[in-house]
Amino acid sequence: MNPRTLKLRMLRLLPVLGLLAALSGCDYTDVTVPTYQKGYKPVQPISFSHKLHAGDMQMECQYCHFGAAESRNGSIPPVNVCMNCHKTVKTDSPQIKKIAEAYEKGTSIPWVKVHNLPDFVSFNHSRHVGRGVACQTCHGPVQEMPEVYQFSSLAMGWCVNCHRQYSEKDSAQFGQTPPEQFKDLHLKPSTDCAACHH
Ligand code: HEC
Ligand code: HEC
Ligand code: HEC
Ligand code: HEC
Ligand code: HEC
C-alpha cells in the first residue's frame, strides 16, 4: 500500500479517532511526527532574493503577495508585478531577461512551491492574515532570506498548539495566555478535527 492510500484510509478513521481523543482526553498532538520539510529550500528558476526586495528595499509583502489577506492562497505574483520595475531596472541582467521574455510571451515563471500541506488539510490565509497574524509568525524572517525556505514544520501539532493558545477555554486548560493583541478580538480558533479536515 503506498503512503497516500494509507493516509486516505487513516482519514476515514477520523471520526473514530476524534471520539477516542475526546473520550480519553488524550493529547493528540503528541502522536503526530513533526518536521516534514522544515528547512526545505528548492532551487528556483530565477534567483529572486527576498532579502533584497523585502529587506533592503523594504517592499511590503502584500505588494507582491496581494491575495493573502482576502483569499485562501498566499499567491505568487505574476510577472507583470516584477515588470513594474524591471521594465527599466537591470534590464541587461540575464535573470531579468528571463522575466521580460515570459512577460512578452504571456507565460509565467515556473517557481517551485516551497510549502506543501497535504491536500486533506484545509488552510486559508485570509482566516489568519485577515485576523492580524503576521506573515513572519508562520514563515519566519523572510525579509532576511536571500532564498526563501520553509521555516515552520507545518505539522498538525504546530497548527493545534497555536490554536489552543488563542482559545480561551483551551488556554485555561493548558495554562497559556492568549497574546495581548488578540485579547480584544476574542479569537477562538477551533481545535475540532473538522475545522482542518473536511
Ligand atoms: C517583489 C515581490 C515580492 C515581495 C515584496 C515578497 N515576495 Fe514572497 N515571493 C515572491 C516570489 C516571486 C516568490 C516565488 C519564488 C521564491 O519562492 O523565491 C515568493 C515566495 C514566497 C514564499 C514561499 C511560497 C511557497 O511556498 O512557494 C513565502 C512564504 C513568501 N514569499 C513570503 C513573503 C513575505 C513574508 C514577504 C514580506 C516579508 C514577501 N514574501 C515579500 C515575491 C515577493
Ligand atoms: C498561520 C500561519 C501563516 C500565516 C500567518 C501566513 N502563512 Fe503563508 N502559508 C502558510 C501555510 C501553512 C502554507 C502552505 C499552504 C498549502 O500548502 O496549502 C503557506 C503558503 C504560502 C505561500 C505559497 C502559496 C500558497 O498559498 O500555498 C505563500 C506565497 C505565502 N504562504 C505567503 C504568505 C504571506 C505573504 C503572508 C503574510 C501576508 C503569509 N503567507 C501568512 C501559513 C501561513
Ligand atoms: C519596486 C521595484 C521592484 C520590483 C517590483 C521588483 N524588483 Fe527585482 N530588483 C529591483 C531592484 C532595484 C534591484 C537591484 C538592482 C541592482 O542591483 O542594481 C532588483 C534586482 C533583482 C534581481 C537581481 C538581478 C541581477 O542580475 O542582479 C532579480 C533576479 C530580481 N530583481 C527579480 C525580481 C522578480 C522576479 C520580481 C517580481 C516577483 C521583482 N524583481 C520585482 C526592483 C524591483
Ligand atoms: C500562529 C498561530 C496560528 C497557527 C500556527 C495556525 N493558526 Fe489557524 N488560526 C489562527 C487564528 C488566530 C485564527 C482565527 C480565529 C478566529 O477568527 O476566531 C485561525 C483560524 C483558522 C481556521 C478557521 C476556522 C477557525 O477556527 O476559525 C482554520 C481552518 C485554521 N486556522 C487552520 C489552520 C491550519 C491547518 C494550520 C496549520 C497548517 C493553522 N491554522 C496554523 C492561528 C493560527
Ligand atoms: C488546526 C488544524 C488541525 C486540527 C484541529 C486537526 N488537524 Fe489533523 N492534521 C493537520 C495538519 C496540518 C496535518 C498534516 C501534517 C501532519 O501530518 O502533521 C494533519 C494530519 C492528520 C493526520 C494524518 C497523519 C499522518 O501521519 O499523515 C490525521 C490522521 C489527523 N490529522 C487526524 C486528526 C484528528 C483525529 C483531529 C482531531 C482530534 C485533527 N487531526 C485535528 C491539522 C489539523
Across the chain, mean pLDDT equals: 81
**What are the domain boundaries of the chain?**
78-110
Asked which of 3-17, 70-84, 105-119, 180-194 is least confident by mean pLDDT, the reply is: 3-17
| Arithmetic mean of pLDDT, 76-99 | 96
pLDDT (0 to 100) of residue 21 = 44
Considering only CA atoms, which residue is closest to atom 40 of ligand 4?
159
Q: Does the CB atom of residue 125 touch ligand 2 within 6 A?
A: yes
**Which has more confidence, 135 or 164?**
135
Helix (H/G/I), strand (E/B), else coil: 196: helix
Considering only CA atoms, which residue is closest to atom 41 of ligand 2?
135
CA–centroid distance, 32 to ligand 5, in Å, is 8
pLDDT digits (tens, 9 = 90+) for 102-147: 999 999 999 999 999 998 999 999 999 988 888 999 999 999 999 9
pLDDT (0 to 100) of residue 70 = 85
CA–centroid distance, 13 to ligand 5, in Å, is 12
- Angle at the Cα of 130 from the Cα atoms of 125 and 136, rounded to 5 degrees: 65
pLDDT (0 to 100) of residue 165 = 81
pLDDT (0 to 100) of residue 112 = 93
CA–centroid distance, 164 to ligand 1, in Å, is 28
pLDDT (0 to 100) of residue 71 = 87
| Arithmetic mean of pLDDT, 46-52 | 97
pTM of the model as a whole: 0.89
Question: Which H helix or E strand runs over 70?
Answer: none
| Arithmetic mean of pLDDT, 31-40 | 61
DSSP letters for 162-185: HHHHH-HHHHHHHT----GGGTTT
Cell reading at 54: 523585502
Phi first, then psi: give them for residue 136, nearest 5 degrees: -65, -25
Considering only CA atoms, which residue is closest to atom 2 of ligand 3?
85
Q: Does the CB atom of residue 165 touch ligand 2 within 6 A?
A: no
Tell me the one-letter amino acid at 14: L
In angstroms, the CA 10 to CA 4 distance is 10
CA–centroid distance, 101 to ligand 3, in Å, is 15
Considering only CA atoms, which residue is closest to atom 18 of ligand 2?
117
Task: Tell whether the model's pLDDT for residue 170 goes beyond 90.
Answer: no
Closest-approaching ligand to the CA atom of 125: 2
